[in-house]
Every structure is written in C-alpha cells, then in structure tokens.
Amino acid sequence: MPVLHQMQMSGNCYKVRLAGRQLGLSFKLKDYPEHDGLTRKPEYLAKNPNGRVPMWETDDGKYLPESGAILFYLSEGTTLQPTERWARAEMMQWMFFEQYSHEPYVAVARFWLAYAPKEELEKKRHLVPEWHAKGNAALGVMETHLKSRDWFAGSQYSIADIALYGYTHCAGDGGFTLSDYPALSRWLARVAQTPGFIPLSQSW
C-alpha cells in the first residue's frame, strides 16, 4: 500500500490527505513529529534529498516529494483535473502562485505564530509585518479572482482549489483576518461542502 510521509498539522500534507480522500484512494500515513528534525536525517534524505514532507511512497518503493507534484500525480485522469487546455493552464497557474506568492507568507506566519517554540518566534518577530503584507497581497489576488469565479481553474473544483485551501482556511492562525475577504470566505465554504471533504485535524 502507498505511504504518505507527513506531518498532521502541515497544510501541504493536508492537501494530499484531502485529495486522497476525495479520490477514494487507499494509503497509509507515516507521521513525523514536528520538531524532531527526522526529515533532515540521512535515512530520510536518502529518500528525499530536499528533506521535506509531504513525500509520497509508491507500492514499488519510489518516492515523490512536493505537494503540488503529488496532487498532480494522484489526480491525473480524474475529475480533480480539468481536461480543457486553458483550464489546465489555470490549474498550474494557481498551484505555482500558491507555492511562490502565498505559502511562504501565509503558511510561514501560521507556523511561527501558532506552532514554533516561543523563544524561536522572538528571533523571527521582525519578519511578521512582511509576512502579513505579502500574505494579504496573496489573499487579495485570490479575492479578485473569486469575485467573478466559483473555482480557480475553469469552472470546476480541482487540485488548484485544494492547493490553495490547504493554508488559506487556517490563515487566521497566522494573524490574517479572513472576514476581510468575502468572496474568498464564500469559496472556503464551497470547498468545505465538496463530497468527501475532510478537515485538517482529521487523521486518515
């Protein structure tokens, strides 16, 4: 059976659990404690030299890191990917947007403000205004899109929505005010109504 190497509270790992549940897949979880540094140890680095979770392990012992790549791999040929060429381009647009312009601020603020040891946070405190400025800019870009669209890629729910949902729905943990974004807030509610939806806290 495939294995998802993961941390439960990581939004990047949650994206894979959510897609996996909605696709009806069978797989096991292997959990890594948040602060143990196991993903930087030689045994893990032999599987993923970049030392991060999530990592997908196939039945035949191959390893795939990067949440976006895992989402893409698991959903090829399913209803979680549009088939029309432009909609597929939009799907990729928003998945790259999320990893480059959203996650490094929205997810990072959440990690440091909600999960990191307090004494570590103090060393990062001076970065909080930049995280909030750039994170709010990213949420603003999403809001603009969602004023006229229900979903991010084409006219259907896809892995682009899952990729953006992962850290947007819990942005409040990082000090963001989601009620400032009404169209985005309605989209969050739509995602939570999709068949097979599971919340971040729910284990496999």
Binding site for its own copies (CB under 8 A): 49-50, 62, 64-70, 72-73, 76, 85-86, 88-90, 92-93, 95-97, 99-101, 103-104, 138, 140-141, 144-145
CB 54 within 8 Å of CB 130: no
Please list the alpha-helical segments (H only) found in the chain.
11-22, 42-45, 67-75, 85-97, 103-110, 118-124, 128-146, 159-168, 182-192
Name which of 180 and 192 has its Cβ closer to its own copies. 180
Of 82, 10, 42, 25, which is closest to residue 204 (Cα–Cα)?
25
CB of 122 to its own copies, least distance (A): 18
User: Of 126 and 201, which CB lies nearer to its own copies in the complex structure?
Assistant: 126
Nearer to its own copies, 116 or 198 (CB): 116
Quote the least distance from Cβ 182 to its own copies, whole Å: 17
Minimum distance of its own copies from residue 193's CB (angstroms)? 26
Q: How far is the CB of 123 from its own copies (least distance, A)?
A: 13
Strand partners for 64: 56
What is the maximal distance between C-alpha atoms in the chain?
Answer: 49
- Comparing CB distances to its own copies, the nearer of 143 and 198 is 143
With respect to its own copies, which residue has the nearer C-beta, 73 or 182?
A: 73
Reported as type and span, the H/E element at residue 3 is strand 3-6
Q: How far apart are CA 116 and CA 33, in angstroms?
A: 13
CB of 32 to its own copies, least distance (A): 18
Nearest to 138 by CA among 161, 172, 106, 182: 106
